[in-house]
Amino acid sequence: MTGVSSTSAGSSYTARHLSVLEGLEAVRKRPGMYVGSTDSRGLMHCLWEIIDNSVDEALEGHGNRIEIILHPDASVEVRDNGRGIPVDLVQQVGLSGVEVVFTKLHAGGKFGGGSYAASGGLHGVGASVVNALSARLDVEVDRGGQTHRMTFRRGEPGVYDDKLGPGPDSPFTPFMDRSELAIVGRTRRGLTGTRVRYWADRQIFPVSAHFSYEELIGRARQTSFLVPGLELVVRDERRLPGTPGEGGVVEEVFRHDGGMVDFVDFLAQDAPVTSTWRLTGSDVFTETVQALDPHGHLSPQEVERTCEVEVALRWGTGYSTQVHSFVNIIATPKGGSHLAGFEQSLLRSIRKQVEVNARRLKITAKDSNERVEKDDVLAGLTAVIAVRFPEPQFEGQTKEVLGTAPVRAIVARVVERELTEIMTSAKREEKAQSALLLEKVVGEMRSRVSARMHKEVSRRKNALETSTLPAKLADCRSDDVARSELFIVEGDSALGTAKLARMSDFQALLPIRGKILNVQRASVADMLKNTECAAIIQVLGAGSGRTFELEAARYGKVILMTDADVDGAHIRTLLLTLVFRYMRPLVEAGRVFAAVPPLHRVEVSGTGGRKGEAVYTYSDAELTRLLARLEKAGKRYKEPIQRYKGLGEMDAHQLAETTMDPAKRTLRRIRVTDAAAADQTFELLMGNDVGPRKDFIVAGGRGLDRDRIDA
């Protein structure tokens, strides 16, 4: 720990060593208290501490570029063009500012000082903790036309002999009587900045712990959104197998001048219901802190803080929620008082607007018994919440939960005031978007209530009970979900044949009347009012949208059985749109299939007194190949060849043999290998925006073969 391990060297272990190391020794004994863990997550947390110090300089307007370099020797380096760590002596301790920052816990410009209005390195322990947990740390500071340098071994300052190149195993000599901040070069006038390079201590972090390039890229991109105008450069020189830099040095640069509005637009995946709204405001609060009095003693003092709030949010057509919260650009993944205030205010504001617009939203007496809940409001929401104020209180050094209580009320007031102003605006665009938002929220409320009712009535009834499932459902007898199959059949005519063709033990049938509602264009409320959509959701019994529970689905397979023509393909597409939007986990689990009925039936004549056979083909090309093969073999077939225009034209045994019998049928599994791309395709083909769909049709029309039109 001290760099002096032998007993004979005990006499050189002076009080100065003790004063430097007494605090850092506690960090090494219990690193989890400071960085959360000693795995890759803790290793990355150390890096965030150093990066956050550089970001704080940019937040105060003193820098606009940060470089993070992953070196091949397992070290990492962070460079910035901020003011540089102070190099002059700190009078109270007689040490340079650089040494104080890297060896003293709760020291520096962020702990009880006035250097930063709001900072990310909140506790003033980040740099010193990283130093304590590093086998070696080098820091260089450009200030006053000179480059200053200091090196540390496991938190202790000293000098390395780097004849063979810098590394944690180089010979090290600790300072004894006094430290020295060496001047190692000169810089251009006015050039300032800090460079920190360190090697993680493998006595603390196992060899399996490593820096994640993907996490680093994500954090750099996130920070560039939160600090507009800041450029972050990430360079990986390690060439590790399985990383983007495997084939050579890789570098990525991030800079976003649009701030949090750009961040929300980047995060949002679904089509918009509202544009991205920006809510800003500030307020003051007082808190009691322990501060040094003129005699050097800690005493309680009332301090007034200013809290700045910025929120960017938008609602989309989907039902998933993305809410990211930050305090002084530090992510708080587990929320805290600022997130609680946001959600509380959001729910209160939307509820109030729903009540005011109840008549326009057609809220009936039945609906009035239900209230809009938090999940209804959060469905489809993408939001970023950021607050800035000095010395926030966190639950633990890892800063995952904000604990400063007054912030909750401040965020709630700002959000309620700003959101109400937008939603009651007389501007045409904001008025239209607010109306769509309220319709979506009320639709989500109705969807939740309807899903609950469907789940209550969808379980199979025994012989002594009456079923409340749709009367047109021809259910199966088996309770084995894994074995059971639900065929969604086009038309009542096909239903009669399918009833005779099915294996009633495990195959259920649900007929639908023609083309169901295009749910990509309809609201949730309209979807639930549609008889066919509601019946499908009720029969499946797993809910819809965000309330969908895959484990509650009553059937192991859902098979769409439509005619093999253009209308059948259209109906299948509409059904898939419904399943994709409101029951996506079914598709992701590979439980949705399309039946493949044949197009033709060819009766081949028998020879030598033998009985003929029927051969089915599934495309015109397959029919052509079959006929050519029969003619080549000298076999005759009955003409005209039967072409099935619909499922109802088949006999029961034909439908069973070709489409429904598990031993003989062919099913096409519907997969979503890229959910985002699939969502965009559905929006293009089935959505409200006509322009892109028209361009798509015009562009593809040139290659259309008119003979392929089934009319």
| pLDDT value at residue 14 | 44
Residue 351 lies in a domain: yes
Residue 462 lies in a domain: no
* Cβ neighbour number for residue 240 with a 10 Å cutoff: 14
* Structural domain contains residue 413: yes
Q: Is the dihedral of CA 626, 632, 635, 640 positive or negative?
A: positive
372 domain-assigned: yes
Q: What is the mean pLDDT of residues 336-361?
A: 93
DSSP letters of 171-203? -EEE-SSS---EEEEE--TT--EEEEEEEE-TT
Determine, yes or no, domain membership for 86.
yes
Full domain range(s) for residue 580: 468-597+669-708
Q: Are residues 80 and 206 in the same domain?
A: yes
Residues 221 and 133 reside in one and the same domain: yes
In tens, the pLDDT along 304-336 reads 999 999 999 999 988 889 999 999 888 898 899
The more confidently predicted of residues 441 and 454 is: 441
Are residue 535 and residue 475 in the same domain, yes or no?
yes
Predicted TM-score (pTM) of the model is 0.67
Which CATH number characterizes residue 87's domain? 3.30.565.10
* One domain, residues 403 and 505: no
CA distance linking residue 192 with residue 677, whole number of Å? 46
Q: State whether 551 and 432 are in the same domain.
A: no
Among 330, 337, 324, CA closest to 399: 330
425/483 same-domain check: no
Beta strand residue intervals within 461-618, DSSP E: 485-490, 507-512, 557-561, 592-595, 600-604, 613-617
Q: What are phi and psi of 562, to 5 degrees?
A: -120, 165
Torsion of CA 382, 387, 388, 389, to 10 degrees: -170
- 636 assigned to some structural domain: no
| Chain center to CA of 632 | 59
Q: Would strands 485-490 and 507-512 be described as parallel, antiparallel, or unpaired?
A: parallel
Is 605 contained in some domain?
A: no
Whether 152 and 117 map to the same domain: the answer is yes
Is 574 a residue whose pLDDT tops 50?
A: yes
Q: Which two tokens stand for residue 569?
A: 């393909």
pLDDT given for residue 471 in this prediction: 83
Give tens-digit pLDDT for 80-123.
999 999 888 877 778 888 988 898 876 554 434 444 545 444 33
CATH number of the domain that 272 lies in? 3.30.230.10
End-to-end CA distance of the chain: give it in Å, rounded. 85
Give, as one character, the DSSP assignment of residue 461: P
Q: Is 383 helix (H, G, I), strand (E, B) or coil?
A: strand
**CATH code of the domain in which 686 resides:** 3.40.50.670
Same structural domain, 349 and 429: yes
Whether residue 501 is found in the same domain as residue 433: no
Quickly state the pLDDT bin for 231 (edges 50, 70, 90): very high
Work out the average pLDDT over 222-240. 93
pLDDT cut 90: percent of the chain above it: 41
What confidence category does residue 456 fall into, taking pLDDT thresholds of 50, 70 and 90?
low
Q: State whether 275 and 178 are in the same domain.
A: no
Q: What is the pLDDT of residue 692?
A: 79
Q: How confident is the model at residue 22 (pLDDT cuts 50, 70, 90)?
A: low
- 184 and 324 together in one domain: no
DSSP for residue 635: -
Asked which of 257, 281, 313 is the last residue of a domain, the reply is 257
Q: How many domains does the chain have?
A: 3
Residues 91 and 107 in one domain: yes
